[in-house]
Amino acid sequence: MGQVYLARDTKLGRKVAIKFMSTLSERMTQRFLVEARATARCNHENIVVIHEVNAFQGLPYMVLEYLEGQPLSRWMSARRLPSAQAVELMVPIVRALVHAHELNIVHRDLKPDNVVVLDSGAIKVLDFGVARMIRETPTDEDANDCGEAATATTVQGPAAPTASPTRSSSGCSMRSRERTALYR
């Protein structure tokens, strides 16, 4: 959805990351704003900090804290972790998601590329680009992809090693309304 550049905040004398939208459409602009709002609401040590949202020559952008480190996917490929260390690594990620869920925000795109292991060893969750703000009472927007009300009865299947969308009794997938996050 966007391209990220390293920049320098000349007023505060610090490095920042600037994320520009790569496609200009009303739908993508709204999605970009949802990402910015969700990130801004999540004031947590394990979630990237957003400093500003604006536009330059008609292209929306957001200024984020610069993270010195590497994506979890690259970090994991360089080492073999004992089980205890892998669980310990997940604790800050879970804390970040719990915090977002307490604010009625569902990340919906949790994957190793959206988690950064900082050079200091700290963990940051980023990219709330497909995040969803949860409302306590469903609206027409919360309908599933078949146009049914989001309160349809769901069919529970056996647990699987990969995440799959919730399905209504008619077989249509439900949009994420519950406090869940996908992991790929």
Q: Give the ranges where the chain is alpha helix by DSSP (H).
A: 26-41, 72-77, 83-102
Residue 114, SS3? helix
Q: How many residues does the chain have?
A: 184
Written as six digits, the tokens of 55 are: 């536009």
- Residue reference for tokens 């925000």: 105
- Residue 41 zone, left/alpha/beta (φ > 0; ψ -120 to 50; rest): alpha
Give 80's Cβ-side CA count (13 Å radius).
0
Is 109 known to be catalytic? yes
Residue 16 tokens, joined: 């920042």
What sign does the CA torsion over 24, 28, 30, 35 have?
A: negative
**Residue 3, SS3 per DSSP:** strand
- Annotated catalytic residue within 9, 109, 142, 145: 109
- Separation CA 164–CA 173 (nearest Å): 9
Q: Catalytic amino acids?
A: 109
